[in-house]
Amino acid sequence: MHILSNFPYNNRVFFVLVVLVLASCTSSNPISLAAPEAIAGVMDLREWDFEQAGSIALEGEWAFVWNELMQPDQIATSNQVSHVQVPEVWSDYEIEGSANTANGFATYHLTLHLPDSEEVYGIYNEGQGSAYDLWVDGHLLAQNGHVGTSRETMIPGKQPAVFFFQPEEEAVEIVVQVSNFHHRKGGFRNELMLGFAQPMHQDQLQLWFVQAISFGTLFVMGLYHVFIFIFRTKNKASLYFALLSWLTAIRIGVTGQNIFFSLFPGLSWSLALRVEYLTFFLSPVLFVFFLQSLYPKEVHRWFIRIVVALGVGFSLLLLFVDTLALSYTPEYYQIIYFLEIIYYLYFLGRIMVNQREGALAISLASVIVFTAITIETLALQFPLPFGPIGPYSFLAFIFVQAVMMSSRFSKSFLRVETLSQELEESNVNLQESERKFRKIFEDSKDVIFISGLDTTIEDVSPSCEEVLGYTKEELQQNTLGKFLLDPGELSQYQNILMDQGAIKNIEIELVRKDGKKIDTLVSVTLREDENGKLVGYQGTLRDITDRKQAQIERLRALEMEQLAITDPLTEIYNRRFFDEIAEKELERSKRSGSSLSVIMFDIDDFKHVNDTYGHLIGDQVLENLARICQENIRTMDFFARFGGEEFVILMPDSGEEAALETAERLRRVIAEMPMAKNGELDVMITISLGIATLETGNSIGFNELLDRADQALYESKNDGRNRVAVWGQTSQ
């Protein structure tokens, strides 16, 4: 037998697209045939037409040896072999020692008789127990996790994959070792699919791609509605809608084809299981908040409290129980799900009767979701031909809600446009009236005033009432000082006028008749008679309150933007902004073919500093450390606080030698300079540093580059601290 490949799914988009293009050129019209089953450990497929009928599930009676992990050459001679139904959990087997237990290990064996051909076959395995090893004709073809005879010796894993082989004989021996000590469902519980390599490969890639598209759609939809919420925080429905979208995307990522395992190969099975359960427990919480934000009068508060308490309570179990105990919780939470669905049906009836906006759309979408959840739940308990359809039905629900919310926004904008148009028409009519009945003086929107030398107002434009709240008649015979916050300032402005002859566009804060303070832009000149004799003042004032407020808002927005990208204590970049900059610099480096280095360091035994001198001294140490580092790196380098006492420096266009020189300089300066004072005592520290460099032509991602720097930092710590280590010169 020739083993052609062991191909777990990955996230190489180009390859997926190529395969999909090839798949789109191939039509598959499976013929409905009676599928044979395995009998007493043998399955005869010599009459099965794989080309026309497609792939087949390797179901039926497999040979089975309980509590033995046997090699392919051992099971044929074993006298402990029995025959069991596959797929099935082994707690349902009526075999001595295996009944009513999820924990254990076993070996399965199946002899296949295949058609006489030179075709390459593929086996699709979704995963067995918590870990499995699979042999074909004595060759180890697939491993998922690490099979062991106890909880301590095994490592769980679950990543759907297709494995290829080419049989040399008509009879093919399949041996599968399975172990489980981490989940309530142990055994050979998922069917193996056998078929020709190319169509199976294409089918599974298409499944992976569908899940990836679903994940991406939900993620982008959530991101879009987060921005809607940011710009209009009163609209809580957008926030809950976004969180629901992301929660559903995450659930898709850790179920089915497990695209998260492709994106993050280091993701542990235990963490993925906990994330899956967390999405299950929290989805009702976000769902009830979403409905309450849409229809606040229709959802009872007592129901919200119960849903939140149950969802949070079950979620907290993730922190305190192992995966085996955790795997029993969904059975109880499903009961809660069904009880909540009963209430939701009552709720949908209420909004339909009360004819709430969007009631029909949300009712139809909710019924689809409830039906899918019910079917999926039943499929976990009974042999129904349905997979994890819940997330996809919820995708349809989210799409309906997106359309409904878009309709709401559209109507709101239409109302605003209508009001704006009506207001604009009113303004046009008003302006036309003013043009007919007012002169230039009267038409001015700025307040134009004329006063004597004693600042008594002699005349003023009618706009004074709009700007200052006083009528023309009320202002005449009053002085200009009437509007100043401090009337005593009037003499100062008179002195400036006498010295300079004019005051142009100075900002003065005035008080309206109603006591409201306004910002104005004032210009004043001296007024002379025909003989050039000074007789008074004339000028204009313009209300710039709105413009000043807009400036304040712009400044506040700039301050908020600055706060969003900097660490509040050290005033250097924070990790979120550093990650954004780093990804861009990495892509630029790859395009230009230049080197890129990362220096990661942290303070040695910083806990001792806090414990000995207190957290205030610790904060001073961090602040001074950040300041000194900025003084000793290039202006083009990006320096950020990575978390706690850990910092990172990104050095564009820098190779390993330049990074090492900078790191050594920082290490020496920090070790020799006091970072804080505790009375008369200098607080001294040291740092350990790790360096990783992306050389020309290297295509690794930034996370891997950062991980290398972290490994080098770890090496510095192990070598005695106050050191610099370079990845690749220590250990890889």
Which position has the higher pLDDT, 651 or 248?
A: 651
Which position has the higher pLDDT, 474 or 43?
A: 43
CB-based contacts of 262: which residues, under 8 Å, 6+ apart? 8, 9, 10, 11, 159, 208
CB-based contacts of 296: which residues, under 8 Å, 6+ apart? none
Average pLDDT, integer, range 353-371:
78
Q: Which two tokens stand for residue 265?
A: 């190969």
Q: Which two tokens stand for residue 408?
A: 């709401």
Q: Is the pTM of this model over 0.75?
A: no
Q: Read off the pLDDT band of 404 (50, 70, 90).
A: low
Model pLDDT, residue 11: 33
Model pLDDT, residue 108: 93
Instruction: Please determine whether the domains at 445-548 and 566-726 fall in the same fold group of CATH.
Output: no
Q: Read off the pLDDT band of 22 (50, 70, 90).
A: very low
Residue 522 phi, psi (nearest 5): -115, 135
CATH class of the structural domain 566-726: alpha beta
3-state secondary structure of 74: helix
DSSP string, 168-224: SSSEEEEEEEEEESSSS--EE-S--EEEEHHHHHHHHHHHHHHHHHHHHHHHHHHHH
Q: Per residue in 79-127, pLDDT tens?
A: 788 889 998 888 778 776 555 678 889 999 999 999 887 889 999 988 7
Q: Per residue in 53-72, pLDDT tens?
A: 889 999 999 999 988 898 88
What distance in Å separates the CA atoms of residue 442 and residue 435, rounded to the nearest whole number? Answer: 10
Q: Per residue in 309-335, pLDDT tens?
A: 999 999 998 888 888 888 888 888 888
Average pLDDT, integer, range 635-656:
91
Answer for the pair 160, 205: CB distance below 8 angstroms, yes or no.
Answer: no
Least reliable range by pLDDT among 438-447, 535-544, 621-630: 438-447
CATH superfamily for 2-204 is Galactose-binding domain-like (2.60.120.260)
Model pLDDT, residue 99: 54
Q: Where are the domains of the chain?
A: 2-204, 228-411, 445-548, 566-726
CB-based contacts of 430: which residues, under 8 Å, 6+ apart? none
Average pLDDT, integer, range 567-596:
87
Q: CATH 3.30.450.20: does it fit domain 445-548?
A: yes
DSSP state of 722: S
Least reliable range by pLDDT among 194-198, 345-349, 482-486, 582-586: 482-486
Residue 384 has pLDDT above 70, yes or no: no
DSSP string, 227-292: HHHHH-TT-HHHHHHHHHHHHHHHHHHTSTT-HHHHH-TT--HHHHHHHHHHHHHHHHHHHHHHHH
Residue 731 has pLDDT above 70, yes or no: no
The whole-chain average pLDDT of the chain stands at 81
3-state secondary structure of 358: coil
Model pLDDT, residue 456: 81
Average pLDDT, integer, range 192-209:
86
